[in-house]
Structure formats: C-alpha cells, structure tokens
Structure 1
Amino acid sequence: MAETILVTLIIFSSIFGVIYIFLTTRNKERLALIENGADAKLFNSGKKYSFGQFILNIALLAIGIGVGVLVGTMFYSGGMEESVAYTSCIFIFGGIGLMASFFMNRKLEKEDK
C-alpha cells in the first residue's frame, strides 16, 4: 500500500517538476530576448491548431483505441495471450487513428489555403 502511494507521488511530482522547469526556463528566455530588443512577434510564430483539429485528433484516436480493443478481443478469443492481444492492438489501431488524423488535418489545411 505504501509503495503504491510512494510511486504515485513520485510520478506526479516528476511530471510537475518537468512542466515547472520548462515553463520557468521558457519565461526567462523570453524575458532575456525582450530585454535585448527582440520583437514580441517572435513568440507567436508557431503553428496554431484550431479546436476542430484537436477534436478530430482525439476522436480518431478514440475510434482507433475502440477498434483496437475489439480486435484484441477477437485475437484473445482466438487463442492469443490476453495481455499481448489487447496491448498490441490498442497501440496499432491507436497509431493508425493518429496517422489518419494527421493526413486529414493536412488535407484540411491545403483546402483552407
């Protein structure tokens, strides 16, 4: 019981630490650039995703995971080991869903231009 709590605490504190270090370092870097006379437009040069693209990515990932679970169930009932069947199918079909999402987003970007 104590090991579970300790492992969970370590995982969440590590994630928090990495995010905190990333954000503070980025902030210090931006402040240093501004002090040296850099233009503020420099920080907004990245690609922005719309809410629709985010929803498309999540939806296709969820569909891929659902299909992966169904195919994993069929493989498990066909005699494959349970952990191998479910894990491999979830990752394979989740990846296929993300790849389909990438190509659909790229097609939508070309249509917008």
Structure 2
Amino acid sequence: MKQIRNLKFYIMMGPGPVFIALFIIIFGIFYLHYSTRNKERLALIEKGADASIFFSAKVQKKSSVPIWKILILNISVLLMGIGAGVFIGSIIDAYTIIQEEVGYTGSIFLMAGLGLFIGFNLSKKLVEKE
C-alpha cells in the first residue's frame, strides 16, 4: 500500500523534476569540461608552453569556401533525402504488407541519414578542392 502511495506521489509531481535534473546534469557536464580545460591551459602557461598548442592546424588555416555554400549544399541534400524517403515509403505502403507508419518512418529516417552522409562527403570534397 505504501508503494502505491509513493507511485501516486511521483505521478502527481509531473515532468518538472525530470527537466530540472536534466538541466543540472547538462550544466554539470559543461562546467566540468570548461573548468578542467581552463586548469590544464593555466598549468601549461605556467610551465612556459607556447599558446599555439591550444589550436589545431586546421583551425589556423582559413577555408576559402564560404560557410553558406556548405550549409545550402547540406540542407538541399537532406531535403532531397527526405523527399526520396517519402516516395520510398509510399512505394513500401502500396506494394508490401509492412505497416504504413513503419514504412514511412523507416524510409524517411534512412534516406535523411543517407542524405546527410552524402552531403558531408560532398562538403568535404568541396573544401579539399579549394
């Protein structure tokens, strides 16, 4: 009987404590990351290390391809993947016994992921070419 009352108490509290706990966890992870990174950098500076070790070679080199071209390329390939996923989902719905929700959802996510992968590879080739 006591367990049922405890369960009712947790149900009545709602999703508020879950979101608060999630916020605290995310804040803790970021705080730990940045405070540790800051302490490591201060220790290296105290020992006389060069500040250039904090930046990789790729960050120092400026890319000649504008970011808007890469963004448009990735968004267009993603949207083409979603469109192809809807088309394939309708084919799956019409010609197989797979449920409509499963066919559409699976094909949309599969083709959107494939579109993101292709967009990433095209962006990488575009940056390497320049």
Q: State TM-score, norm by structure 2.
A: 0.62
Aligned residue pairs, count: 112
Q: Which residues of structure 2 form unaligned runs of 5+? A: 1-11
Larger Rg: 2
Deviates more, 1:2-11 or 1:32-41: 2-11
Distance 1:111 1:92, change over 3 A: same
Offset at residue 14 of structure 1 (A): 1.8
Percent identity of equivalent pairs: 33
User: Which residue is 1:28 aligned to?
Assistant: 39
Where in structure 2 are the equivalents of 1:12-91 lying within 5 Å?
12-45=23-56, 47-48=58-59, 51-52=67-68, 55-56=71-72, 59-60=75-76, 62-63=78-79, 66-67=82-83, 70-71=86-87, 74=90, 77-78=93-94, 80-81=98-99, 84-91=102-109
Deviates more, 1:38-47 or 1:67-76: 67-76
Offset at residue 19 of structure 1 (A): 1.6
Q: C-alpha separation between the residues in 2 aligned to 1:75 and 1:111? A: 38
Runs of 4+ aligned residues of structure 1 deviating over 4 Å after TM superposition are none
Offset at residue 39 of structure 1 (A): 0.7
Deviates more, 1:57-66 or 1:25-34: 57-66
Aligned residue identity for 1:92: L
